[in-house]
Amino acid sequence: HRAFETGPWPRMKAAERAGILLKAADLIEGRLEDIARLDALESGKPIAQARGEIGGAVDIWRYAASLARTLHGETYANLGDAMLGVVLREPIGVVSIITPWNFPFLIVSQKLPFALAAGCTAVVKPSEMTSASTFVLGDILMQAGLPAGVVNILAGLGADVGAPMVSHPLVEMVSFTGSTRVGKMTMASAAQSLKKVSMELGGKNGQIVFQDADLEAAADAAVFGGFFNAGECCNAGSRLIVHEAIADDFLSAVKALAARVTVGDPLDDQTKVGAMISSDHLAKVAGYVAAAATEGSSIYSGGKQLASNIGQYLDPTIIRGVTEDMAIAREEVFGPVLSVLTFESIEKALHIANNTPYGLSAGVWSASIDTCMSVARGVRSGTVWVNTFMEGYPELPFGGYKQSGLGRELGKRAVEDYTEEKTIQFHRGQRTGWWVG
């Protein structure tokens, strides 16, 4: 708070702030391999994937730096000859940033550089399970020339560290990524002092495949969307919604591709699905699979737990015969599990896609532009991928409808999210009284 009230960062020229963010991006790029290795070791994600995430984070830091110089404010000269209106964008203040364990470096990079670009100071809490790379980021920011006290990184459990970060009276904004359950608790706490909140929460995302789609590409995307990061991903395409006319043939292709997915050592460059975050989480995911079988669905592929001296694993799993009322179709499983539902019409496909409390993302596969547009407009999701899946760019905002969150991250307005608008009205010349003369 002191760094915000009296320090140089909020008062610095935007170009100077941008320069420090660009220097940080260069330093991150120079330590990419070290950071990727830390994330792989702590989270179990494949090292090749981790490298891609850190590379993506570099791009985000550079994009945020470019936005630092766009907070120009506005002027209104149409209020009469004697009046001039000015609207400023000022940094909101101290921001508490709380990040999850599944994408440790990438997610903090979707928040922190934009807060810094706006001139805010920040307190950052990474997950206690995957905190190492965030501390490396703190070291990098110091090397880049960030003034002391602007970013403060705290380790610890949510109850001990995260909760006070949300409730503290000197914090003006909370940016949280995590489960919907914890997001609701965070929002309730922040509401006690009417803090601004930005939340990216859970998802139960559908990949809708029509019979005229490029089925080879759609099958590859289904496997990628369902099993990337071992399914421990808020925008995983965990519900595969397939037209009934092609279901058997399409699922046969998906099953064949899933069998080729390399599961194993996160530090092996060939690994596609690494270890799960913990044995407790593996047990939770396996419990969803077992419950689905008792409810009448069947394990079409995978389902085996694999234990080794380098982690706990679940084979990429495909479940057929899933109905909309099953827990595995409605709740976020957060594991390498694809639930298959079928439809006979576009109306039914949209009903299935929207029949969830979440609304983070969705995908549609079809050769028909009419079909793609109808689905893209009809799905209640913050992001819709058309004939692709789970691509991301710093220029495009990301966030959810319904219980998938509040607000958006990334995009050209990402820096504005960390600001307050201030209206200033200037009167020229002598003001004539109009009330009491």
Rounded Cα distance between 114 and 397, Å, is 13
* Cβ atoms of residues 115 and 152 within 8 Å: no
CA distances to 11, 76, 149, 212 from 91, in Å: 10, 21, 16, 50
Identify the three-state secondary structure at position 342: strand
Which listed residue (234, 332, 372, 409) is catalytic? 234
Return the SS3 of 228: helix
Q: Is 233 a catalytic residue?
A: no
DSSP per residue over 102-130, as a string? SSHHHHHHTTHHHHHHHT-EEEEE--TTS
The catalytically annotated residue of 42, 53, 172, 200 is 200
Count of other CB atoms within 10 angstroms of residue 87: 12
234 catalytic, yes or no?
A: yes
| Residue 239: closest CA among 312, 315, 313, 343 | 343
**Residue 243 DSSP SS3:** strand
DSSP string, 383-411: EEEESS-S---TTS-B--EETTEES-BSS
Phi and psi at residue 385, in whole multiples of 5°? -95, 130
List, by residue number, the catalytic residues.
Answer: 200, 234
